[in-house]
Amino acid sequence: MGSGHVHRLYRHARSPVHALPPHTKIAAVLAFVVVVVSTPREAMWAFGAYAVLLGLVAYAARVPAGFLLGRLLIEVPFVAFAVLMPFVAEGERVEVLGLSLSVNGLWGAWNVLAKGTLGVAASVLLAATTELRELLLGLQRLRLPPLLVQIASFMIRYGDVVTDEMRRMSIARRSRGFEARGLKHWGVLAKSAGALFIRSYERGERVHLAMISRGYAGSMPVIDEVTASRAQWSYALALPSAALTVCVLGWVV
């Protein structure tokens, strides 16, 4: 996989969560999300219990609350969608602060907000405790299709390259006095986007030929083999196991 890329979501720390093998954390987060989605929306207390469980994981991982809450802003579009649901949904309506809201819409908004927020929070904790290179190794260990892992690997590797190319093109335009101020300048920006696409495509072709010349046959060699002990699996699966207990109680109660 090559050297790792430290992404902005990652928070370096020495904690039991950071030390877990990446594939155990990926499996735990996936299982946790499945359990959360399976929980009936009427069991509001269960979602509070899930939030407490994630808080305990964040504490064990030494991820500050401010760091976690700041990264949750990524779900703002979903929040906006949820806010609109009580106004546009059909069915029985109820008066709240002088507003006529749909009961089904209110339940739907709560369902989206609760489950979406918990899912995003779990994903943020995974990203905060696992480097990108380790995530790829974990996906590879979990037998994700090799082609998907390779695509993700190249996306991570060359995302910065393409971004830097965009920056240089922007500097070149500004050095020639160009400044986008309206629709009449969209043509220039469109041509820049086309040039960027062509350059990226040609770079991809050169990289592919270089890989073939070095023996590439459709799969990347596994350099670092990651394994996990039973104790590590037990530690990682403690979160979804506790969440499953809460989910079962939610259905029973």
Q: How far apart are CA 227 and CA 229, in angstroms?
A: 7
CB neighbour class for 129 (10 Å; exposed up to 12, middle 13-18, buried from 19): buried
Residue showing tokens 């699966």: 237
Q: Decide: 21 and 138 in contact? Cβ < 8 Å.
A: yes
What predicted TM-score, i.e. pTM, was given to this entire model?
A: 0.79
Q: Which of 47-51, 153-157, 207-211 has the highest mean pLDDT?
A: 47-51
The runs of H, that is alpha helices, within 39-102 are 44-61, 65-71, 76-88
Q: How far apart are CA 74 and CA 61, in angstroms?
A: 21
Whether 95 has a pLDDT exceeding 70, the answer reads: yes
State pLDDT tens for residues 41-53. 889 999 999 999 9
Structure tokens at 228: 């996990």
* Continuous segment of H or E residues that includes residue 95: strand 93-96
Whether 108 has a pLDDT exceeding 90, the answer reads: no
Per-residue pLDDT band for 4 (boundaries 50, 70, 90) equals very low
Q: Decide: 166 and 54 in contact? Cβ < 8 Å.
A: no
